[in-house]
Every structure is written in structure tokens, then in C-alpha cells.
Amino acid sequence: MDDRMFARLKPEELDELTEDGYRRRRAGDLARAFATPRTEPARTRGRRPYFLMAGTVAAGLAAAAAVVVVGGGDPAPRKAPAASAAPTPDKTPDRTVDARTFLLAAASTAKREPATSGRYWYVNERSLQKVHNVPSEYMRGIKALDAELKEKEKELAGDPEALAEVRERINRELGELKTVELPYLAYATETRETWRTMRAGGTSRLVSDQDVEVTFDSPQDEADWKAAGSPELADKKPQTMDDSFERILSIDNPSLTLQNISKLPTGKDALKRRLDELWKRSPNSARANKAGYLWQTGVDLMTAPIKPGTRSALFQVLADQPGITSQGPAKDALGRTGVALSASTTDAITLRLIIDPRTAELLEYDVVEKDVPLLRVALADMGFTDELGERPRG
């Protein structure tokens, strides 16, 4: 898409199309199966476990993503198949502790961790999302709107009021184009790997569209797709992009980057004040509730190289938030056993995490609306590496 079109339209309506926004704001129901990525067996950074009491492991970290849910679709959407609609309950004895206790234990675990460093921060994630449109048709519509906008800018150069109306209309049509639903339910999974440079001006890398798999909600949906001509619903060719732009940590916090998050406070009260300041300055504060912002910022920080003290303080801040529930043992999309925590926002969205009780690592985060899953992201690996293109060792 032409970058000039982004500049001429409302940025907040388009932010989910940027790399960071796309990662967090794509919405989708869960498919019948969540394919295993082609990368090596999933692992997480080793952490020393912290025990609350005899026989009960208590470690965890909390964060979740509050997404902008794309509207449209059936008036009464069908639920995703039970096999993957939610974290799979574990069959081990349920030694569930309350969420606050769990988070405070995580704070103790995080504080004991040694600080690490490296030239690149690496993240490997496996995600599943609902396919909302045929990509080729969508891009044709985008290009047509872009061409129309360019033409109108020339025609109405001397009439700013009329031009503003045209821009508003095209912006509305762009939004409608993004929310058009297919007449069948299809889902796509993919693996994405990122290497974020820790040096200003350095080269970062994104490798996306790996091991893409498209599935359908039912045999009828697949039949309807075939009747529509079997259009390609996902790009199945891996794409690699290198750039030297300074990447913001998240759209909600454009002032935070990988190069400056090490300056975040390491004490609970100081971090809470800092998060309150960031919330007031967030470009999305007028559209989102503060609870959703805090959980979204939490997942952004928990998947970034913050200091152990900052991680500990974040757990403590989250532990003070009302409405957090421990759902007990569960399996993530890659089959790893963890503990599920959830919190609800004021817009009927439930934010859910799965945490490794042995290591306090975030294994997965997902988003559910009225018991219908919208997003599932499994974090296969995170950590520092010194070579672009290489994965962390150990």
C-alpha cells in the first residue's frame, strides 16, 4: 500500500496494519487444529522456580492483549471447535492458588533473575487468526481507494472543505472494506520470528508467513470456499524484511522502544506512576479503558527485555488490579502445561494468559469475546542473541 495514503487518512484507523499493531490487533476465532511450527521444539528461558507452599508451585507473570475487534460477520457467530476453543484443561490435580497470590509469587521469582543482554532481542510466536477477506480482493480495493484519493486531491486542491469530506468518506469506505466478512469461516496459522536490534540505527529482521496453514470451521465452509473458486486466503511464501527503523514497543506506548525500556522503574510504586503517565499520553486512551491498556502494556513488556526488577514490579502492579481470576492448570496451543489467568475489560472482552508454573514464563495469550475466542498467540521462544538470524542458545 502507498505510504502516502496512510499519511492522508486517520492514523488511528490504520494502526493495526503496521508491524507492531498487526501483531497485536489481528482478530480471529480458533481453528480446528493449531499446527506445530517447523522450528525446533518450543523452549523458554530457564528460570528458578519459586514455591509458595509444599506441593504447590506458584510462579507466574500476567499480561494480555486488548485488541480492536473487527466488526461484522454473522449475527450469532458460531463457536470454534471445542478441541481448540480454549486452553485445554490439564488432567493433573488442580492445586489452584488465587491470581493475586500467583502474581506476587511471580514477582519474587522475577526479582531473583539475573539480568541478561545481547545485540538482538528474539521472539518466535505461533499465531492463529480468522481470515476476514480474500487478500487479493482486499488489496485491489485499497489501491482503488488510494487512486481515487490522489485524483480528488488534484481536483479539489482549492476547496479544502470539499476535500476534507472526500477524505472522510474514503476513510469510512476503507474501514468498511476492512470489516467485510467472508460467507464462510476460515482460519490461518503462521509462525513469525523477529530479531530486534538493541542498538539505535542497527538492523532488525522480521520473518513472517512461515508454515502457513488454512483450515475451515466445518466441511460446509470448505465447500462454500470451493464454490467461490477456492481463492487463496493466505500468503504461504515466507517473507523476510530487514530495516533500520527504531521500532516502538507498542502502538499504545509510542514513547517506549527496546532501546529505552531499561530505564523503566524497578519499584512497584514508581512503575505504577510511570504507567499512569503513559496511559494519559497514549493515543488510544480515549478509545480504550485503562484496565485493557494496563493488561496490553503488560504483555508488551513481558515479551520485551525489561530488567528483572521492572518485571517484578509489573507483577506487583498487576496483582493489585481487580477482576483477575486463576483458572487453574491448562495446556497452551503448543501442548505445554501452564496455569491460566484471565481478566475482563468493560467491553465484554476476556484477556487470558497461560503461564509456565515452573519458570514463570508467559507461554500464550489469547482474547475471548463472550466465550468466542478471537486471538491465540503462543510464544515458542524469547531471548537475546548476538547474531542476526540466529536463535538464542540454551
Per-residue tens of pLDDT for the chain, all 394 residues = 333 332 333 333 333 333 333 333 333 322 222 333 333 434 444 333 332 222 222 222 223 332 222 222 222 233 333 334 445 555 444 455 789 998 899 899 888 888 889 999 999 999 888 888 888 888 889 999 999 999 999 889 888 899 999 999 999 998 888 777 888 988 888 999 999 999 888 999 999 989 889 989 889 999 999 999 999 998 888 899 999 988 788 888 999 998 899 999 999 999 999 999 999 988 877 666 787 788 889 889 999 999 999 999 998 999 998 888 898 989 998 999 888 998 887 667 888 888 887 777 899 998 887 776 778 899 999 999 999 999 998 6
**Cell match 522502544: residue?**
257
Exposed / middle / buried, residue 17 (Cβ in 10 Å: 0-12, 13-18, 19+)? middle
Q: In whole angstroms, give the CA distance from residue 90 to residue 105.
A: 21
The model's pTM: 0.69
Q: Give the residue carrying C-alpha cell 509444599.
A: 54
Q: How far lies 145's CA from each of 14, 133, 153, 169, in Å?
A: 14, 17, 12, 10
Residue 17 phi, psi dihedral angles, 5° rounding:
-90, -10
The dihedral formed by the CA atoms of 267, 340, 24 and 204, expressed in degrees to the nearest 10: 70
What would the grid cell of residue 62 be?
500476567
